[in-house]
C-alpha cells in the first residue's frame, strides 16, 4: 500500500483524531484493490467484514427487492462506505458496485471496532460521521416523499451545478439510467423529465447538460436547506 494512500486516508475527518498506533492497527491488515467498472463489491445481506474506502473511481450503492432495483447513493472519492454496518457488526443493507474502474481500500471490520472501542477520539469522529450520514439519508427520504420526479431532477442538477462552483454546463458523471434509478424513476421517465425541464432552460446532449435558466429551475424545485445539503453554507 502506497504511503500517499495512507495520507489520503489520514486526511479524512473520520481518521484525523486517531493515535498513530490506532491508525497502524487499522491499516496494517488493510488491503487495497483495483477493480474494473461494474464489479460488485458488496452484496446486501452479507455480514459486514470490511469498512471500504473509495480512493479513486466511483461506487454505486444499491438495493434490490425481488425484480426491482434502486440506486441509493453514489460514493465519490475520498470517502468511506457502509460504516454503520461495520460499527453495529451487522449485515450490509446495501449492495455496492463500481461504476468505473476504482481503487478501493478495505479495512477489516474487526480492526475498526477494536480501535473504536479503545480510542474515544475515533468514537467521537464516528459519531460525527454517522450523524452526518444519518441526516443525508433523512434528506433523501424527504426528497423522495415530497418531490415529484422532475423536481428531484431539477434539484439534483442545481446541486451538481453548485458543486461545480455554479457552472452552467455540466457533464453527468455516470449514465442516465443510473441517475434515473438514483432519483427514483425509470430511464424513460428521466428522459421525459429532461424534456419537461427544457421549458426551464435545460438542454442536454448525451452527458453534457446546460442550465440556461437556473432561477427558473430553482423556482420549479425550490431547493431547500432542509432537503438539499448543498444549500447550506450559502
Positions touching DNA (CB under 7 A) are 148-150, 175-177, 184-195, 204-207
Determine if the peptide bond prior to 143 is cis (ω within 30°): no
Task: Give the C-alpha separation, 156 to 147, whole Å.
Answer: 12
Q: Is 178 in the site for a second copy (CB under 8 A)?
A: no
Task: Give the C-alpha separation, 82 to 107, whole Å.
Answer: 11
Q: Is 138 in the site for a second copy (CB under 8 A)?
A: yes
Q: Is 141 in the site for a second copy (CB under 8 A)?
A: yes
Task: Give the C-alpha separation, 70 to 142, whole Å.
Answer: 16
Q: C-alpha angle 172/134/96, rounded to 5°?
A: 50
Q: How many CB atoms lie within 10 A of CB 104?
A: 24
Cβ at position 176, least distance to DNA in Å: 3
Q: Which of 45, 166, 195, 219 binds a second copy (CB under 8 A)?
A: 45
* Alpha carbons within 13 A on the beta-carbon side of 129: 19
Q: Which of 6, 12, 78, 130 binds a second copy (CB under 8 A)?
A: 130
Q: Which of 4, 7, 65, 234 binds a second copy (CB under 8 A)?
A: 65
Cβ at position 227, least distance to a second copy in Å: 6
Computed on alpha carbons and rounded to an integer, the radius of gyration of the chain in Å comes to 19
Q: Is 225 in the site for a second copy (CB under 8 A)?
A: yes
Identify the H or E element spanning 95. strand 95-98
Cβ at position 185, least distance to a second copy in Å: 10
Give residues in contact with a second copy (CB under 8 A). Answer: 44-45, 63-66, 68-70, 72, 83-85, 87-88, 90-91, 93-94, 116-117, 120, 123-124, 126-128, 130-135, 137-142, 144-147, 184, 222, 224-227
Amino acid at each position: 500500500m502506497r504511503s500517499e494512500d495512507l495520507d489520503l486516508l489520514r486526511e479524512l475527518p473520520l481518521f484525523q483524531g486517531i493515535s498513530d498506533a490506532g491508525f497502524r492497527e487499522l491499516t496494517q491488515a488493510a488491503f487495497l484493490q483495483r477493480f474494473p467498472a461494474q464489479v460488485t463489491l458488496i452484496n446486501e445481506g452479507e455480514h459486514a467484514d470490511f469498512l471500504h474506502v473509495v480512493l479513486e473511481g466511483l461506487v454505486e450503492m444499491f438495493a434490490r427487492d425481488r425484480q426491482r432495483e434502486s440506486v441509493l447513493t453514489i460514493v465519490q472519492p475520498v470517502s468511506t462506505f457502509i460504516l454503520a454496518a461495520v460499527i453495529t457488526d451487522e449485515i450490509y443493507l446495501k449492495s455496492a458496485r463500481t461504476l468505473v474502474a476504482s481503487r478501493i481500500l478495505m479495512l477489516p471490520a474487526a480492526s475498526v471496532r477494536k480501535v473504536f472501542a479503545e480510542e474515544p477520539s475515533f468514537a467521537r469522529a464516528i459519531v460525527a460521521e454517522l450523524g452526518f450520514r444519518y441526516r443525508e439519508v433523512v434528506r433523501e427520504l424527504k426528497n423522495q416523499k415530497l418531490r415529484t420526479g422532475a423536481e428531484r431532477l431539477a434539484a439534483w442538477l442545481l446541486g451538481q451545478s453548485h458543486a461545480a462552483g455554479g457552472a452552467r454546463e455540466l457533464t453527468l458523471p455516470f449514465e442516465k439510467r443510473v441517475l434515473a434509478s438514483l432519483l427514483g424513476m425509470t430511464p424513460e421517465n428521466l428522459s421525459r423529465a429532461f424534456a419537461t425541464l427544457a421549458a426551464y432552460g435545460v438542454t442536454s446532449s448525451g452527458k453534457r447538460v446546460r442550465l440556461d435558466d437556473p432561477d427558473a429551475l430553482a423556482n420549479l424545485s425550490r431547493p431547500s436547506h432542509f432537503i438539499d445539503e448543498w444549500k447550506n453554507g450559502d
